[in-house]
Amino acid sequence: MAVFVALGAFLMTLAGGWVAQRVTDRRHLVLGLAGGLMLGVVGLDLLPEALEAAGTPVFGVPAALLLFVGGFLVAHLVERLLAARQVAHGADGQRVPQVGLAAAAAMVGHSLMDGIALGAAFQISGSMGVAVALAVISHDFADGFNTYTLTSLYGNARRKALLMLFAAAVAPVVGAATTLLFTLPEELLGGYLGFFGGALLYLAAAEILPEAHHTHPARSTLLCTVGGVGFIWLVVGIAE
């Protein structure tokens, strides 16, 4: 059942990527929406789940929050190192394609964990599986949208963006299938969600949203960002 439901996530991910590549003439709106979706996923979905699963305090701070901050700092460090390397090779002022690929790879990893979480939920009960399935299928549209946008934003060829999109679409199916073989510890899943959430927030706040409002600082861009957050809020509310 989990694998069958994951096929729905596969289709929704592809649909999100298809929408992202079809609106290139409204790039500022795409980036504004992508930033809002990423912010909503982090603040309203990933972080609450991480705190619930891995909220054990470490020196007074929940482990999930420590990993969240760690993910933010690691994303910042990786980008700075790659940018410095690019400057050393005479490409100052240009976006680093490897950053986009690394971000897209993180989205693929997140989609894989979505599938694992889906399978684990069905292992617990059918009702929990349905609730998680609704959340996964709904926000995988945003995952596909963001995967394609992140890859192409940093100057990668369309072929690479489509390849990463397909990998993100297949990942939930693979993740759900692996749960037939093992059970994932809840704290490990929570820790991963916290770390990934921090990295995703860095990309949204430091890269996607500034780019969207710098190239076209229109009210419509801001509305797209708010709309992206609102969409994720709706998805989370329905899932609950």
Q: For residue 57, which phi and psi values (nearest 5 degrees)?
A: -65, 140
- Does pTM surpass 0.85? no
The first and second tokens of residue 240, run together, are 């609950």
Output phi, psi for 223, to 5 deg. Answer: -65, -35
**One-character DSSP codes across 119-171:** HHHHHH-HHHHHHHHHHHHHHHHHHHHHHHHHHHHTT--HHHHHHHHHHHHHH
- Give the pLDDT band of residue 95 (cuts 50, 70, 90): low
* Structural domain for 96, as ranges: 1-239
Q: Residue 113 has which token pair?
A: 């964990």
The residue-averaged pLDDT of 101-120 equals: 78
Domain count, the chain: 1
pLDDT in tens, 135-171: 677 667 777 887 888 788 777 788 888 898 899 889 8
**Four-residue CA torsion sign, 22, 24, 27, 29:** negative
Give residue 69's pLDDT.
95
Mean pLDDT of the region 211-239: 79
- At 209, which helix (H) or strand (E)? helix 209-215
pLDDT top residue among 89 and 209: 209
Nearest C-alpha neighbor of 111 from the set 65, 203, 47, 176: 176
